[in-house]
Amino acid sequence: MHLSSSFLSAFLAILSATTTTSATPHSLPKTAVRLAADPTNPALTWHVSNFDIGCSPGGCVYSFNIAGTASANTPGFNTTCNGTSVQDDYVACKDNAVLAQIEPAQYPNWTVKAQHQWRETEWSHYYAFGERNVTEALKTFTITVGEVYGVA
């Protein structure tokens, strides 16, 4: 197949739940606390480039680069993601702290989903989720984080 072409400080202050339950990359423990993400935090705007998707009757294959800026409480990342439209869940990118998934939207649109996960200590886990509807012709775009979860 040929391819076609400072919010965590407040967040940590309200976290009081502790858990030893480990979360899988795509599910969260019941003790996770959810907050709306601060859209003005530059670490919560991820930059996607080289978005490419190619389809055949058996499904579609995608590839893109994604980068997130580091902040005082959020590690940065810069990785490549590859997968298919027939996968039912998030798939790890080259940097396993970042996962991605695409879903078809109304033709010719796709929903590109990304998750960034990191740990500060053995018992503190953080997850940020974002998604964006794009067309296959859009090669460069941003994904704004819409939700942040944490277990500490």
Q: pLDDT for 76-121, tens place per residue?
A: 999 999 999 998 899 999 999 999 999 988 778 999 999 999 988 8
* 2 domain-assigned: no
- Going by their DSSP bridges, the two strands 109-121 and 98-104 should be labelled as antiparallel
pLDDT for residue 122: 83
pLDDT for residue 37: 59
In this prediction the pTM is 0.75
* 77 domain-assigned: yes
> Domains in the chain: how many in total?
1
Residue 131: other Cβ atoms inside 10 A: 18
Euclidean distance between CA atoms 151 and 126, whole angstroms? 6
Q: Which residues contact 58 (CB under 8 A, 6 or more apart)?
A: 86
* 1 domain-assigned: no
- Going by their DSSP bridges, the two strands 109-121 and 124-135 should be labelled as antiparallel
What is the mean pLDDT of the segment spanning 37-49?
82
* 39 domain-assigned: yes
pLDDT for residue 17: 31
Look at residues 18, 128, 17, 152 and name the one whose alpha carbon lies nearest to residue 69: 128
* 131 domain-assigned: yes
Q: Which domain holds residue 69?
A: 7-151
* 132 domain-assigned: yes
User: With the C-alpha atoms ordered 87, 90, 92, 94, is the resulting torsion angle positive or negative?
Assistant: positive
Whether the pLDDT of residue 70 is over 70: the answer is yes
